[in-house]
Structure 1
Amino acid sequence: MAARKRGTHEDGHLQDGTGSKVSRTGGRHVAALVLARGGSKGIPLKNIKLLAGVPLIGWVLRAALDSEMFDSVWVSTDDDEIEKVAKCWGAKVHRRSPEVSKDITSSVETIQEFLRKNPEVDIVCHIQATSPCLHPSHLQEALKKILEDGFDSVFSVVRRHQFRWKEVKKGSNECTTPFNIDPRRRPRRQDWDGELYENGSFYISSKELIMKEGSSQGGKVAYYEMEAEHSVDIDVDIDWPVAEQRILRYGYFGRGVSLMFCKVSGCLTDGRVLLSINGQDMVSVHSKDLAGIKKLQKDDVEVVLLTSRDDAVTESLTTKLKTLTGCEVMAVGEEPLQEVQAVMEKKKLDWKDVAYMGNDPTDARCLSLAGLSAVPADVPVEAAKYTCLLGGGAGAVGEFAEHVLLQKETAKCQMKQDRIDRLNF
């Protein structure tokens, strides 16, 4: 799991401002668990399919981690690719057995196996991967009902204003009848409170309830009401474009990236080498790109420039690049993934905290994993989440910098809206 954020400790405690530790969970181990089986009848490998540029499970993992309410965050899966994505997004992985990986296996059976393998867990928050509009504040407020108010189980609901009628089987002479209205006195929406429906976003339960009663809802039960705009469920292909539009407007985009990797050749420059009469090799850097880098640095985004070890021209300009941009310049091999991850591990960052700009098929893995990623206009790498209007060396870096800063500002507004205190919560 990713390192805890400001003001927190890895042992699940918070500082109270005096240096003393205050337990958030009362000594109980609270785990978030996302069930992500490889097989999907509706959409193949649905759990890691890109949705608005992010793997589906990435949306809920980001919300769980940023809520800072969990001692551990897990993905239960039987699939190698899902395991890789889960780890990249900061989660631990429970490899479920074949016995609980069948089409007929219930969620409770899978959670029970997880609890047997992880006996230290006292409370489980089962988060559905197919609810990508989940926000940290939803989890924070729902967990308080168990941690502070003494409930044994809490689940998410949404309020709907829908009139329900009895189904009549085809060929039957039976007439339908209303379930929740009197047709002669149909209420106006504003005069009717509606009804609460499970929206399937999450179910929080004690270990005792799940293991002894075989249910995630029981004991002293409470619900947590989510807004309709955040109640998104994905089951079949037709749900995908609808969910994507909802996410772009109501999704949780995280706290914004704090580190950006950028290829020099083809991104910061146009890839051309200029030969002078006196034998010197030269490259050009656009003023818009330099301005964009400075804006990122001013907003506490560290920028690392990536050069190729095989590019002697760029190597000779490394010192000048450092002076010109104020960035660290790092030489990488043909496949930059491992070297980039080594930097992230040193800085204790997950992919969700990182932006990446590349211009080559060898960058595809980094572009896919990064929280934000981009390519110049003239580079068709499909793994990127953003394609610039400008080309490499012609302002593309500056354009992507503005995109990164816009996402950071969106994240700040969301955190304010969700009443998340970045320093003390």
Structure 2
Amino acid sequence: MKNIAIIPARGGSKRIPHKNIKHFLGKPIIAYSIEAAINSDLFDEIMVSTDDYEIAEVAKQHGARVPFLRSEENSDDFATLADVIDEVKRQYLEQGNLFDNICCILPTAPLLTVDNLKKGYDLLSNRNVDSARPVVRFSYPIQRALRLDGNKKIGMFNDEYKDCRSQDLEAAFHDAGQFYWMKFDIGLRGNNKFGFEIPETMVQDIDNEQDWVIAELKYKMINL
């Protein structure tokens, strides 16, 4: 089986300027994703899809390929991961390069582990699935979520659960935001999506400077 890792890293980050190559505990954060892909020995090709020459240079310095730059069409705030992956697929197919599977690895996932990459690949390989990804359990039952109106009055989204015990409610999960394994011919557009649970300590969404600090603390805790 031939596998390609696609790391999407455009240059237009606004909340954290140059987020994809900002230094995270001593090296560009994208380097962690590249190195995890390399160390997994799962991939025949590891490439970065970017519109930014500086990101491209950093990516190549850390072992990834940047065989072409991303189009302007797929470099704005409205382009989806599925759009970016489809563009990369078209470019490789035009060059006569065909793969069996894709793993889209996000560039700001320093808590990503080789072990979890392999778990995702095993799930994709051994089950009839279109895609596989890690998910994280919500720490509090979403069925008992609260809302605040303009006067700070509290109300429940679902009153039917107000008297339910937390342990009696179905667990809910959210995307870990680290990677997505998928069949090459289907990409992210398939409906048969599977997931496996990883702990909250191994996940951190990084949207602002506070998230960044928390991610560094988690990384240090995991790697003590």
TM range (shorter): 0.7 to 0.9
Is the partner of 2:212 in helix, strand or coil? helix
Q: Percent identity of the aligned residues?
A: 31
**Residue segments in structure 2 that go unaligned for 5+ positions in a row:** none
Deviation at 1:147, TM superposition (A): 2.0
**Residue segments in structure 1 that go unaligned for 5+ positions in a row:** 1-24, 211-215, 252-409, 411-425
- Residues in 1 aligned to 2:123 and 2:189: alpha-carbon distance in whole angstroms: 14
Q: TM-score, normalised on structure 1?
A: 0.47
1:55 matches 2:28: yes
Deviation at 1:232, TM superposition (A): 1.4
Number of aligned residue pairs: 217
Aligned counterpart in structure 1 of residue 180 of structure 2, from 186, 190, 203: 203
Alignment of 1:67-216 (within 5 A): 67-93=40-66, 94-119=68-93, 120-164=98-142, 165=145, 167=147, 170=150, 176-179=155-158, 182-187=161-166, 194-210=171-187, 216=188
- Residues in 2 aligned to 1:130 and 1:77: alpha-carbon distance in whole angstroms: 14
Deviations 1:250-292 (A, max 9, x none): 25xxxxxxxxxxxxxxxxxxxxxxxxxxxxxxxxxxxxxxxxx
Code of the aligned partner of 2:86: Q
1:31 matches 2:4: yes
Alignment of 1:377-416 (within 5 A): none
Aligned counterpart in structure 2 of residue 241 of structure 1, from 202, 213, 222: 213
Aligned Cα root-mean-square deviation (Å)? 2.4
Checking the alignment, whether the CA contact within 8 Å between 1:161 and 1:193 is kept in structure 2 is: no
Is the partner of 1:131 in helix, strand or coil? coil
Deviation at 1:143, TM superposition (A): 0.5
- Residues in 1 aligned to 2:213 and 2:20: alpha-carbon distance in whole angstroms: 15
Is the partner of 1:222 in helix, strand or coil? strand
CA separation of 1:154 and 1:179: change in aligned 2, threshold 3 A: farther
Code of the aligned partner of 1:170: G
Checking the alignment, whether the CA contact within 8 Å between 2:21 and 2:58 is kept in structure 1 is: yes
Deviations 1:45-99 (A, max 9, x none): 1001001112110111111111111111111111111111111111111411111
- Residues in 2 aligned to 1:217 and 1:157: alpha-carbon distance in whole angstroms: 18
Checking the alignment, whether the CA contact within 8 Å between 2:141 and 2:169 is kept in structure 1 is: no
Structure with higher Rg: it is: 1
Is the partner of 1:95 in helix, strand or coil? coil
- Residues in 2 aligned to 1:148 and 1:87: alpha-carbon distance in whole angstroms: 33
Q: TM-score, normalised on structure 2?
A: 0.87
Code of the aligned partner of 1:113: E
CA separation of 1:178 and 1:31: change in aligned 2, threshold 3 A: same
Checking the alignment, whether the CA contact within 8 Å between 1:52 and 1:247 is kept in structure 2 is: no
CA separation of 1:180 and 1:223: change in aligned 2, threshold 3 A: farther
Checking the alignment, whether the CA contact within 8 Å between 2:141 and 2:166 is kept in structure 1 is: no
CA separation of 1:234 and 1:180: change in aligned 2, threshold 3 A: farther
RCO comparison, higher one (Cα < 8 Å, 6+) = 2
Deviations 1:213-272 (A, max 9, x none): xxx153432112122111112111121111111111225xxxxxxxxxxxxxxxxxxxxx
